[in-house]
């Protein structure tokens, strides 16, 4: 594990593995770098890529600095790109894909952009919807109701039925979800994307979508691919919203190292 210091003094922890052109993994809600470790290992095994797998601020062993702002998270990614040599490919997953889009729109030196299931402008939502969700999550976490904050994001953000979430609250992994509850407001603000975002991204982009991911996610991925000036859409047969390194890895290797 290594650390870098972002522009506001936040410590960002990351693992660096492999050899070859650098790619940085930007994960989504509820994820720290342990969730990206299997994909990082798959991409590193062939020694065609150098993988930077990091804890976004407020997660894992990275620190945090308040107040939160999306630009600060983009600053974190910029610092990682600096550690990678000054330019890098970026892979974003779920809400992390939208963060990667916003970083590319700001002009970070991203050589190639790969996005898996980006929940960009999900039908029925808008920037105000996500900003209000962030406010409600902050209020619940501030009141010590971290479990309710997780439930709010899972039902109104992810679309999991309430009865399923009620069962999940009894699962042994639920405390780990509660530990990340404060960062769900961060992901909500990431998804409150400014108008015209796609038109500001000129980076060569691969948009990847799971064939059996939820319909709104597949619609959003298609809209991203159509809206970007230099993008192609790739559908992973039989795949859901989950990351499966054995299936996704070869696609990313071909795109990022090619």
What percentage of the chain reaches a pLDDT higher than 90? 91
* 16-41 mean pLDDT: 96
Question: Using one digit for the tens of pLDDT, what is the confidence trace for 207-248?
Answer: 999 999 999 999 999 999 999 999 999 999 999 999 999 999
pLDDT in tens, 121-163: 877 788 899 999 999 999 999 999 999 999 999 999 998 999 9
Predicted confidence at residue 4, as pLDDT, reads 97
Whether residues 215 and 178 share a domain: the answer is no
Q: Is the Cβ–Cβ distance between 112 and 258 less than 8 Å?
A: no
Task: Tell me, yes or no, whether 37 and 83 share the same domain.
Answer: yes
Record the tokens describing residue 3, joined without a space.
């650390």
Tell me, yes or no, whether 206 and 91 share the same domain.
yes
Q: Say yes or no: 180 and 131 in one domain.
A: yes
Q: Side-chain half-sphere of 86: how many Cα atoms within 13 Å? A: 0
Strands (E), 45-103: 50-54, 88-93
Q: Identify whether the C-beta of residue 224 lies closer than 8 Å to the C-beta of residue 120.
A: yes
Asked if 117 and 62 sit in the same domain, the reply is yes
CATH of the domain at 231: 3.40.50.1820
Instruction: Based on the fold, state whether residues 14 and 137 are members of the same structural domain.
Output: no
Taking every pair of Cα atoms in the chain, the longest distance, rounded to a whole number of angstroms, is 49
User: How high is the pLDDT of residue 210?
Assistant: 96
Q: How far is CA 210 from the centre of its chain?
A: 16
Please give the sequence-ordered ranges of beta strands (E in DSSP) within the chain, or none if there are none.
2-5, 11-18, 22-26, 50-54, 88-93, 110-116, 204-210, 231-236
Chain segment 4-27, per-residue pLDDT in tens? 999 999 999 999 999 999 999 999
pLDDT tens by residue, 63-77: 999 999 999 999 999
Beta strands per DSSP E along 30-117: 50-54, 88-93, 110-116
Mean pLDDT of the chain: 95
Say yes or no: 180 and 245 in one domain.
no
Regarding whether 40 and 162 lie in a shared domain, the answer is no
Out of 50-64, 122-136, 180-194, pick the least confident: 122-136
Query: Are residues 98 and 206 both part of a single domain?
Result: yes
Q: Are 36 and 55 in contact (CB under 8 A)?
A: no
Alpha-carbon 94 to chain mean position: 5
Q: Answer whether 0.85 is exceeded by the pTM.
A: yes
Domain range for residue 84?
2-121+194-257
The answer on 98 and 6 residing in a single domain is yes
The residue from 140, 169, 188 where one domain ends is 188
Cα angle 23-27-33, degrees, rounded to a multiple of 5: 85
Burial 93-121 (b: 16+ CB within 10 A, else e): bbbbbbbbbbbbbbebebebbbbbbbbbb
Question: Does residue 152 share a domain with residue 77?
Answer: no
Same-domain check for residues 60 and 172: no
Average pLDDT, integer, range 94-106: 97
Number of domains comprising the chain = 2
> Looking at residues 52-56, what average pLDDT do you find?
98
Of 153, 188, 223, the residue at which a domain comes to its end is 188
C-beta of residue 55 within 8 angstroms of C-beta of residue 14: yes
Residue where one domain finishes, among candidates 138, 159, 188: 188
pLDDT of residue 122: 78
């Amino acid at each position: 594990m290594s650390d870098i210091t972002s522009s506001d003094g936040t410590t960002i922890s990351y693992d660096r593995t492999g050899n070859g052109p650098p790619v940085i993994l930007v994960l989504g809600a509820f994820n720290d770098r342990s969730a990206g470790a299997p994909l990082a290992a798959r991409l590193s095994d062939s020694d065609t890529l150098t993988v930077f797998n990091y804890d976004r601020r407020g997660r894992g062993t990275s620190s945090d600095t308040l107040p939160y702002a999306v630009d600060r998270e983009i600053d974190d990614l910029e610092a990682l790109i600096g550690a990678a040599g000054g330019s890098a490919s970026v892979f974003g997953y779920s809400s992390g894909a939208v963060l990667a889009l916003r970083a590319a729109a700001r002009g970070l030196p991203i050589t190639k952009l790969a996005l898996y299931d980006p929940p960009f402008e999900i039908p029925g939502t808008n920037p105000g919807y996500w900003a209000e969700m962030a406010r409600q999550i902050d209020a619940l976490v501030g009141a010590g109701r971290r479990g309710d904050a997780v439930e709010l994001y899972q039902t109104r953000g992810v679309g999991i039925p309430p009865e399923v979430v009620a069962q999940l609250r009894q699962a042994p992994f639920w405390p780990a979800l509660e530990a990340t509850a404060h960062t769900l407001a961060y992901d909500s603000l990431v998804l409150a994307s400014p108008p015209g975002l796609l038109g500001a991204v000129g980076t060569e982009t691969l948009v990847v979508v799971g064939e059996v991911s939820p319909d709104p996610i597949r619609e959003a991925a298609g809209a991203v691919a159509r809206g970007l000036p230099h993008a192609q859409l790739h559908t992973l047969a039989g795949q859901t919203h989950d990351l499966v390194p054995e299936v996704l890895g070869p696609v990313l290797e071909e795109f990022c190292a090619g």
